Structure 1
Amino acid sequence: MTLQLRVATFNIRNSSAPDGDDSWPVRRESTAAAIEALDAGVVGLQEVLPDQLEYLQQRFPGWEIVGEGRDDGGHEGEHSVVMVRPGDWQVESHETRWLSAEPSTPGSVGWDAHLTRIATLVRLRHADGTEIGVANTHYDHAGEKARVESSRLLAAWTATELPWIVMGDLNATPGSPPLKTLTEAGLRDVVPASEGGSEHSFTGATDRDRIDHILVNDAWQPVEAAVSHYRPAGRLPSDHWPVVATLRLV
């Protein structure tokens, strides 16, 4: 039987941001409800601070949630976690790498980046023995060179025979140099341009830049992909819309 997997990426906005009526304590239930509504087996989240991670671990019991903090390779700082729903897929291994010239050095900052940035690489095994790779990342918002170099790192790290899914907030639009670097390496963005934007700065806009992406190698065939505009109880769950895709192994 051909395997299908529904995956999603979602920047949930860090809890330290001074967002007033959209601050984390006010919207966290809506954020969790939005994650549930994606109905995904694997979810990559960005900007997850330790208090948010603790909440998610309580809110999603039974899920495997992996990924280390970017500040120390442990608990401190933002996490780019991968959540795996209980079921046929299990985490075989995972590691956090830094988007810098020293990927194994916790807290390292790459090139012209303003902040420490990371990627979480996960190997998943299906109950039938099939193995896949998932990379969840968050590129720097300011460093143009850093974004391209980060793509070069991700392209190298996923250049294996595994079926790979690369997702995250790349702070770059379709067709931009960071995305071209990934597509020229054999990855393809599965979300149609017609789906519109993903960042909205708590405006609810759907026509701004799409900087959140799901890319795959040739082992995957996209079945459907979309940007979700769901507002649980009418509340915006983040300053980004989540992006979701159903993928089939070929």
Structure 2
Amino acid sequence: MKIRTASFNIRNSSAPDGDNAWPVRRKAAVAAIEQLDADVVGLQEVLPDQLEYLRWRFPKYEIVGAGRDDGMDAGEHSPVLVRPGDWRIERHETRWLSDDPGTPGSIGWDADLTRIATLVWLRHRNGTTVGVVNTHYDHAGEVAQLQSSRLIARWITGSLPWIVMGDLNATPDSAPLKALLASGLSLAVPLEAGGSWHDFTGATDDDRIDHILVTPGWTVTDAAVSHHRPEGRVPSDHWPVVATLSL
């Protein structure tokens, strides 16, 4: 039983990115997602207009996730996209990376911004259920990053197989990643696969801050950082990370 997973920060549409602004590169972003050939994709920094566009471009996909500002539509989303096939969404919820994870808009610890995680329970056609966490850690608050890892580690206890993915704004040797690894998770995408952050430069050797991690029981059959440039254009300021997993 296999599942191909991917995480991709598509860069929000409100950023003043000039020649790399969302209207210019949105077709490239969609092409990059399609090229990943993933069953499940976790996206970050998705504003409502981007989510509307993605729903139009991926009409057959199940797409879930709430806005971080109000728990409904406002603000950035960290949606999970599930393509038609062996996996279907059984249930899902959005939680806030804070001391009060059930309160929409809550800000945790020393975080600069409201941050969320989208939790999805997926059921395979054979009846097996697995869990997916798609998240985006704060970019500035070091305490918030570490506490976010500890929070997620508590959420995924138990016998259910879990996949944790997202833009963690932290490198593999950082305290937040070490906390996740200490909880029993392991990195699915090897470090030698290259960097994921590039700030629209197209660099492939910058920091790896986008990750896919798995609980024991998963086997990684292949994994990579996708440096695909549809029609020569970088699709975002991050490269997607992708991993094929089996149980």
TM-score of the pair, normalised by structure 1: 0.98
Structure 1: gaps of 5 or more residues = none
How far, CA to CA, are the matches of 1:161 and 1:82 in structure 2?
22
Q: CA deviation at 1:8?
A: 0.2
SS at the partner of 1:25? helix
Matched with 2:81 is 83
Aligned counterpart for 2:164 among listed residues 166, 169, 173: 166
Aligned counterpart for 2:220 among listed residues 219, 222, 247: 222
1:180 maps onto 2:178 in alignment: yes
Q: CA deviation at 1:166?
A: 0.1
Deviations 1:30-88 (A, max 9, x none): 00000000000000000000000000000001100000000000000000000000111
SS at the partner of 1:108? coil
Aligned counterpart for 1:121 among listed residues 119, 122, 126: 119
How far, CA to CA, are the matches of 1:175 and 1:97 in structure 2?
26
Aligned ranges for residues 92-131 of structure 1 at < 5 Å?
A: 92-131=90-129
SS at the partner of 2:145? helix
Q: CA deviation at 1:151?
A: 0.1
How far, CA to CA, are the matches of 1:216 and 1:47 in structure 2?
22
State the one-letter code of the partner of 1:221: T
Maintained 8 Å contact 1:164/1:219: no
State the one-letter code of the partner of 1:41: D
Aligned ranges for residues 1-20 of structure 1 at < 5 Å?
A: 3-20=1-18
1:211 maps onto 2:217 in alignment: no
How far, CA to CA, are the matches of 2:28 and 2:168 in structure 1?
24
SS at the partner of 1:223? strand
SS at the partner of 2:165? strand
Matched with 1:190 is 188
RMSD, matched Cα: 0.5
Q: CA deviation at 1:160?
A: 1.9
Deviations 1:94-135 (A, max 9, x none): 000000000000000000000000000000001110100000
After TM superposition, the structure 1 stretch with the greater mean CA deviation from structure 2, 71-80 or 191-200, is 191-200
Aligned ranges for residues 62-73 of structure 1 at < 5 Å?
A: 62-73=60-71
Structure 2: gaps of 5 or more residues = none
Maintained 8 Å contact 1:13/1:238: yes
SS at the partner of 1:119? strand
How far, CA to CA, are the matches of 1:199 and 1:99 in structure 2?
22
SS at the partner of 1:167? strand
Deviations 1:190-226 (A, max 9, x none): 1111112100000000111000000000120111110
How far, CA to CA, are the matches of 1:162 and 1:175 in structure 2?
27
Q: Give the number of aligned pairs.
A: 247
State the one-letter code of the partner of 2:59: P
1:243 maps onto 2:228 in alignment: no
